Amino acid sequence: MKIALVTGASSGIGAAFVRRLDQLGGLDEIWGVARREGRMAGLAAQLRTPMRTLALDLTKMESVEALRALLDAERPEVAVLVTAAGFGKFGTCADMTLQETVDMVDLNCRAAVAVTAAVLPHMGRGSRVLEICSSAAFQPLPGFNVYAATKAFLLRYSRALRWEAAPRGIRVTAVCPGWVRTEFMDVARDTKNGRTVRCFPFALRAETVARRALRDSRWMAVTTCGLPALVQRAASKLLPHCLIMACWEGLRRL
């Protein structure tokens, strides 16, 4: 059985990947992982490809173990893995609660790596891993610090994993778009200081990110899915981070 597995599949970028994978075809099933089973059931009803909905909270290690056990029992061929589960919160260190901070690190970093480790044994030559990072990974971002740091971790993990998985013919791509028009902004603003970041220039549609990322993942180690994030990536290599942070401080207050 040939499948794709998508985390964060109930909404936003994850749901867009599910729809795009369905359009491309060639799969026996799509496995969607998220907490909101009702949302996934509604999405599954719109697809041509059968979708298995797995209501799991990936911040809990027992959920990852349940997913691993299911994979080991059914032994599917995982053609595509998309780790889209994650969230961000706007606010400085004085604004963030301890729980918000820990949950971001748990879901954006630990859960992504744990799911990848569980799925890799079921991938073979030609399989693809898409780790959903962010252009926030390219530089430190005051006021969006923890989220940017978690995505920097995932970017570095993805780049090294690409080398480690290459002998098996598995391609790993870090997907690093800029702002994407999803529920992400509403969740990010639901904090003590949700107006820390006020504007979202050049925001992409989630469907655009999914389409470009799946195309680019056939050969690229990192895709930004658009010109603004590509410029941001280049600037982070050429300019001192203190200068980039100063520019960010001005932009986020507009």
Strands 29-34 and 51-55: parallel
Query: Which listed residue (147, 153, 157, 184) is catalytic?
Result: 147
Question: Which token pair is 118?
Answer: 């569980």
Question: Which token pair is 253?
Answer: 């207050």
Q: Identity (one letter) of the amino acid at 53?
A: T
Residue 181 and residue 206 in contact, taking contact as beta carbons nearer than 8 Å: yes
Tell me whether residue 147 is one of the annotated catalytic residues: yes
Strands of the 51-55 sheet, one edge to the other: 51-55, 29-34, 2-7, 77-83, 128-132, 171-175, 222-223
Closest CA to 56 of 85, 78, 29: 85
Residues noted as catalytic = 147
